[in-house]
Amino acid sequence: HDHGGSDDHYGSADDGYVSQPDESQQSDEAGSNQVSEQVANDSATPLSEQVDTGGDSLRRSGEEALQPVEGNPEKKTVASKFDFDGDQLADSLLEISFVADVFPGEIQIGDPYVDPFASVDPRTLGSISGTVRGSGAPLDEFGIFIFSAPDGIDDGYWEPAPVYEFNYDGNGSYTAKVMAGTYYVEAWGFDPVSGKSYQADVYGNESDDDLPTSLTLVDDSTAFTEIDFDLEEEYVMQHSFASVSSSLAIDEGEIYGAFLDLTPIDENNATLTDYPVYSLHVDFDGSIRGEAPVGDFLVELVSHGKPMDLASDVIWSITDGGNSFEALQVAVKQSYRVSGRVTDQDGDGVWADILFVDPQDEDEITYPSWEPVHMGPEQGEFLEGSFSVKVPEGSYKILAREHSGLFEDDYYNGASFAEAQIVVINGDLADVNFTMEDAPFSSITIRLEDNASNPVTGAWFNLFDGDDEFGPMFFPEVEESIDGNYTLNIPEGAYKVEVSAPDYKSFFMVRDDFGDVAWEEAYWEVASSIETKDGETTSLGTATLERHEFEDWQRFEMEWFDASDTDFVGNTIKGTVKTSQGGAVPNARIIARTEDHLIWIDHVETFRDGSFEVDNLPDGKWVIFAEPPFESDEFQSYRESDPNRQPVLLDGGQTVENVDLVLQGSNVSGRVVFPKKNKSTGITKIQSLGDAQVWVFQDNDADGEPDFNDWFYEADSMFNEAFSHTDDKGFFSLSLPEGGTYSLKLDLPGRMASLSPKPITFQLKNPDQEIKIGNAIKLEWSTNKKVDKFDVRRKVKSSDESYKTVFSSDSDRLEPDATSYVDNGITPGISYQYRVVAIDTASNTEENLSGDDVKVSNPIIYLAPPSKSVSGFVGDDQSQSVSGALIEAWRTEGEGWASALSETNGSYELTLGPGEWEVSVFRPYETKVNWVYDAPPARVSFKADSSVEKKVLEPFVVSTMAGGKVTGSIQLPSGKTATELSQYVFIDVYDPMGKGDWSNPDSDGNFEIPLQPGEYELSIWVDPLLTGYGSPAGQI
């Protein structure tokens, strides 16, 4: 309340408040302490309190008289307009009034921010102090990050320490007071005079072999001084480029997928970065031509198609102008087969990736090529978990890594990287076996039953990221009993649970009006999440599933199926879907089509064990294949099985079994999304884009165009390209046979053509290693800290470079109510690490948000909204606004269209792109209206650039249907209801130009359609769901 001079600051009984007598307005220390936790750093004196003692005594349906509070007849509770706990009983309100010394103030309702330092005496805190230098000179601009590493300094997230006070003491010095705990200290810096940045460094990490030093603070007796840093200058790639040429001295036929990586070095030939800053493509004949940055570089050969290394260390000094280097001597390497089996502690097979790790560098991993797994009966028994891969000769430590998180990583002959055996591979190697140990996991229990309380068996479960709609889906390990009870084993985390079973609807777990668990047809946004903890079991009680009301042929509009044909005998195909490594694939989509493509069935999905059954198939030749469940990270490295496999001949109601489909491996995957604004709420959210065509093509000169148009392309050279399409969740995957430089182009559905992005160019260095392609990364966060601005900072993953802001200036930083950001400035194929920084401008302090509070997506292809739009108004010839009119726009040259429906007031807005467009108004397709638009379309043009243009068109005026009408009736067929008649029968009256109208019969079978004068054709269309009846001939 605003306690000013008026008497209006007390609520009335109508708004849920009652006034208090003046003598109740007391000021005491106890009251002040009660509110100090919620109004940090402000002294406050409570004026009045109202406490509900009657509980939930009042229902919504009516208000009762004010009830005296027990022990104090002056205080009264009133009927509330709210039901906070969802028990259908009205709840009374708690009123707290106070006077603050500082105005304006802030009041938080809900989960309040708890100041971790509220009761801390700063004199009891330990401290950390030191200096930060760059190349020996004190730095005035530097950053200090004090953090803990509960999961390890190398693998886990760095958790910000609770720093009570931080002071920049000048001349590169700093002092921090920190709560008790064990921490590490990181520093980075910048010299504004020279413009030099300095590499981030963790204290004690003097060399690559040193572990950072941890500091344990207990109390004020713990003071760590001289925590000093002398930072190395960060390498900045020159903007000056020069031409280079060379070749590989090799006579081994054509070369595909080879690169030269350039890593900058200093005058002592020590590398300045821990990753290459530039790459040059090696042509198929071994020649090297291109441009590279000026400077001194260590040159390394990367080649996975034909494994080879440079015979010796090579240093190039690239100067302005032309640089021609002598041929590079090459040592060709052989590849050998490594085979074995991965099992759990019970001896059951486990599907895991097999990785080959550099014995000197745990982060340097070689991804092998997997050999095809032969699973047919002619090959004999196949043991799950078996693997056979090929890897270049060399010395490695071999690692088995399973994707579900239910098993710990396992090194061959060693409990860890440090203890693992170094394996020299100079020939084929068999019996490389792994036994994986269980990782900590959590469990969910649930019982499934139908409406008659009968158990539901054979169910499957999809667990989605509980915080990120675009996070990965997880398939749990499922234990099922015959009475409908299930146990799901999963890594701990936040999940949204979806469940389904054969012949049943898919249900999400939601919360009902009372806050209790319920199950219903829903989607991610409205589903409720649950938190699970390792070692704990969460019970979800009983879920009641509902059967589908219609048969599959009705639900999926299989118009070719005639349910009334009693002589029809359907055929059945049964089989399994597995990966190319032999793992069963749940939730894979099965596509069955006739050889002539006339019938296409794609609604069947595999069960938990990867098995499937497609029934009611007509006689004939059927081609069947499978698509992976892309929304699961586990299967994004696969693509469809062979879509042109040998057809299956079906005849006379037979059942063909053992149709086993094997998903092909893929090495390029991605997801296409776009921003969409909800017109009712005004909120813009990211949506998945389905039905986009994806073309990836060879582009060695990185100009965004296919190489077969370039001068250096030879007609007899191999041109690599691949095609795919996005599914309804926006995912795609494909496989490229060779490494190289490629570009990706999207062919969007016509309505989205104005969002078409530029080609995305990327490098595929190892075709045996999957790469996720995107032009953006989405970040989401939450915090209850009081901030003025948010900054988003990133660096190349696992590099020593410092985090740098993604914004061009401080004014671009995000407002305090921001909870997400799409970084569309990334380089495709590069992995990044991010920090979201909360900034308090008043105190000039910064704080990194906790790792638990920040979610970072995989790379996504983000279709940025265009900057061109057109708006206008739709009215009729009676001067009334027209809502629900369909406004469509077409690009006059090239593909592209957009559409929108007019609002209640007749207004509309279309988002378009560059070029000339035609805009017109149409009757909505599935809504009956009494008007028509006869005038020509409007034309509008936009510049072919990124400038913002907003144009307004003259109003569209539609004509009301009048002057004539068609009336008639439909006789109710025997055995059908009036509801079925009005639902499944449509009367269409249109002229040859498409003008006219339509109607359904009413409950008596009558219809009336107003029309303008003219000649029309009347036809009746009967939905196939009205079984046993067809459409009669049309009439003029």
CATH architecture of the domain covering 336-436 = Sandwich (2.60)
- As a whole number of angstroms, the distance between CA 139 and CA 141 comes to 6
What pLDDT is attached to residue 53?
A: 35
- What is the pLDDT averaged over residues 203-212? 71
- As a whole number of angstroms, the distance between CA 737 and CA 764 comes to 10
Please, are residues 866 and 755 in contact by the beta-carbon 8 Å criterion? yes
As a three-state string, the secondary structure of 15-77 is HCCCCCCHHHCCCCHHHHHHHHCCCCCCCEEEEEEECCCCCCCEECCCCCCCEEECCEEEEEE
Query: Which range, 80-89, 708-717, 759-768, is most confident?
Result: 759-768
- As a whole number of angstroms, the distance between CA 651 and CA 57 comes to 70
- As a whole number of angstroms, the distance between CA 96 and CA 78 comes to 15
Q: Is 295 left (phi over 0), alpha (psi -120 to 50) or beta?
A: left
- As a whole number of angstroms, the distance between CA 761 and CA 742 comes to 6
Task: Please tell me the CATH superfamily of domain 552-665, with its number.
Answer: Immunoglobulins (2.60.40.10)
Whether 39 has a pLDDT exceeding 50, the answer reads no
Average of per-residue pLDDT values in the chain: 83
- As a whole number of angstroms, the distance between CA 700 and CA 710 comes to 10
Compare 70 and 19 and report the one with higher pLDDT.
70
Compare 960 and 514 and report the one with higher pLDDT.
960
What pLDDT is attached to residue 397?
A: 96
- 246: pLDDT confidence band, cut at 50, 70 and 90? very high
Whether 598 has a pLDDT exceeding 60, the answer reads yes
Fold category of 241-332 in CATH: Immunoglobulin-like (2.60.40)
Whether 120 has a pLDDT exceeding 60, the answer reads yes
**pLDDT tens digit string along 574-589?**
999 998 888 899 999 9
What pLDDT is attached to residue 90?
A: 61
What pLDDT is attached to residue 27?
A: 37
How many residues comprise the chain? 1036
**Angle at CA of residue 57, ends 52 and 62, nearest 5°:** 115
Which residues share a beta bridge with 1006? 969
C-alpha 968, offset from chain centre: 54
* 51-55, 157-161, 480-484, 975-979: segment of lowest average pLDDT: 51-55
Compare 523 and 175 and report the one with higher pLDDT.
175
Q: Is the dihedral of CA 61, 64, 69, 74 positive or negative?
A: positive
Whether 52 has a pLDDT exceeding 50, the answer reads no
Please, are residues 104 and 111 in contact by the beta-carbon 8 Å criterion? no
> 10 Å Cβ neighbour count for 834?
19
Fold category of 777-862 in CATH: Immunoglobulin-like (2.60.40)
Per DSSP, the three-state class of 288 is: strand
* 203-217, 303-317, 476-490: segment of lowest average pLDDT: 203-217
Residue type, 151: D
What DSSP designation does 503 have?
T
* 57-66, 86-95, 732-741, 823-832: segment of lowest average pLDDT: 57-66
Fold category of 868-960 in CATH: Immunoglobulin-like (2.60.40)
Contacts of 560 (CB under 8 A, 6+ apart): 598, 599, 618
What DSSP designation does 32 have?
H
Q: Is the dihedral of CA 532, 535, 541, 547 positive or negative?
A: positive
What pLDDT is attached to residue 865?
A: 75
Please, are residues 38 and 46 in contact by the beta-carbon 8 Å criterion? no
- As a whole number of angstroms, the distance between CA 770 and CA 695 comes to 17
Contacts of 274 (CB under 8 A, 6+ apart): 798, 799, 800
**Angle at CA of residue 824, ends 820 and 825, nearest 5°:** 125
Compare 693 and 284 and report the one with higher pLDDT.
693
Residue type, 217: L
Please, are residues 891 and 915 in contact by the beta-carbon 8 Å criterion? yes
- As a whole number of angstroms, the distance between CA 945 and CA 469 comes to 33
Per DSSP, the three-state class of 857 is: coil
- As a whole number of angstroms, the distance between CA 341 and CA 873 comes to 68
Per DSSP, the three-state class of 15 is: helix
- As a whole number of angstroms, the distance between CA 640 and CA 768 comes to 17
- As a whole number of angstroms, the distance between CA 527 and CA 507 comes to 10
End-to-end CA separation in angstroms for the chain: 73
- CATH 3.30.310 holds for 122-231: no
Whether 612 has a pLDDT exceeding 50, the answer reads yes
- As a whole number of angstroms, the distance between CA 894 and CA 892 comes to 7
Comparing CA positions, the residue from 427, 424, 361 lying closest to residue 395 is: 424
CATH architecture of the domain covering 668-773 = Sandwich (2.60)
Fold category of 442-544 in CATH: Immunoglobulin-like (2.60.40)
C-alpha 946, offset from chain centre: 27
Q: Domain spans of the chain?
A: 13-100, 122-231, 241-332, 336-436, 442-544, 552-665, 668-773, 777-862, 868-960, 964-1022
Tell me, yes or no, if the two domains 241-332 and 552-665 fold the same way: yes
- As a whole number of angstroms, the distance between CA 470 and CA 630 comes to 12
DSSP 923-935: --SSS--SEE--S
Whether 326 has a pLDDT exceeding 60, the answer reads yes
What pLDDT is attached to residue 314?
A: 95
What pLDDT is attached to residue 21?
A: 34
* 187-201, 203-217, 946-960: segment of lowest average pLDDT: 203-217
What pLDDT is attached to residue 36?
A: 33
Whether 100 has a pLDDT exceeding 90, the answer reads no
Instruction: Determine if the peptide bond prior to 104 is cis (ω within 30°).
Output: yes
**pLDDT tens digit string along 666-709?**
899 999 998 877 666 667 788 889 889 999 998 888 888 888 76
- As a whole number of angstroms, the distance between CA 78 and CA 69 comes to 10
3-state SS of the chain: helix, strand, coil percent to 5?
A: 5, 45, 50
What pLDDT is attached to residue 516?
A: 80
Please, are residues 444 and 490 in contact by the beta-carbon 8 Å criterion? yes
**pLDDT tens digit string along 353-388?**
999 999 998 888 998 988 876 655 555 567 889 999
Whether 6 has a pLDDT exceeding 70, the answer reads no
- What is the pLDDT averaged over residues 48-62? 37
What pLDDT is attached to residue 4?
A: 39
- 611: pLDDT confidence band, cut at 50, 70 and 90? very high
- As a whole number of angstroms, the distance between CA 572 and CA 604 comes to 12
What pLDDT is attached to residue 108?
A: 66
- As a whole number of angstroms, the distance between CA 702 and CA 235 comes to 24
- 111: pLDDT confidence band, cut at 50, 70 and 90? low
Please, are residues 941 and 917 in contact by the beta-carbon 8 Å criterion? yes
**Angle at CA of residue 667, ends 661 and 671, nearest 5°:** 95
Whether 450 has a pLDDT exceeding 90, the answer reads yes
**pLDDT tens digit string along 707-748?**
876 555 555 567 889 999 998 889 999 999 888 889 999 988
Whether 29 has a pLDDT exceeding 90, the answer reads no
Pull the structure tokens for residue 586. 């749940």
Distances (CA, A) of 639 to 491, 634, 662, 748, 895: 26, 12, 10, 20, 28
- As a whole number of angstroms, the distance between CA 67 and CA 65 comes to 6
